[in-house]
Amino acid sequence: MIVLAVPRHKQRLAGRFGGDNPFLSAFATLHDSASRSYYDRWRARGKTHPQALFRLARHRISVLFAMLRDGTFYEPRTPRTA
């Protein structure tokens, strides 16, 4: 059996955000214009890259739960300009 040491701050993030999956998902969607504009808005407000990425991940999770709640499919909106 292999046991890997995980830093405590990573353990807290894993419990709070469900591991790295939302973070990686948000990073992968930066090519999408709506996601990129949301990310750029938070960067313009002075957030660091990881902070803006976590905001994007939380936003994507909120959209996902709203889709599940309403039984709808994802329809991208036109992005707001900063």
DSSP for 30-72 reads: GGSHHHHHHHHHHHHTT--HHHHHHHHHHHHHHHHHHHHHHT-
Which mean pLDDT values do the consecutive 10-residue runs of the chain (82 residues) have?
56 52 73 88 94 90 92 78 62
* Residue 47: predicted pLDDT: 94
CA dihedral 52, 54, 55, 56 (to 10 degrees): 90
**Which residue type occupies 22?**
P
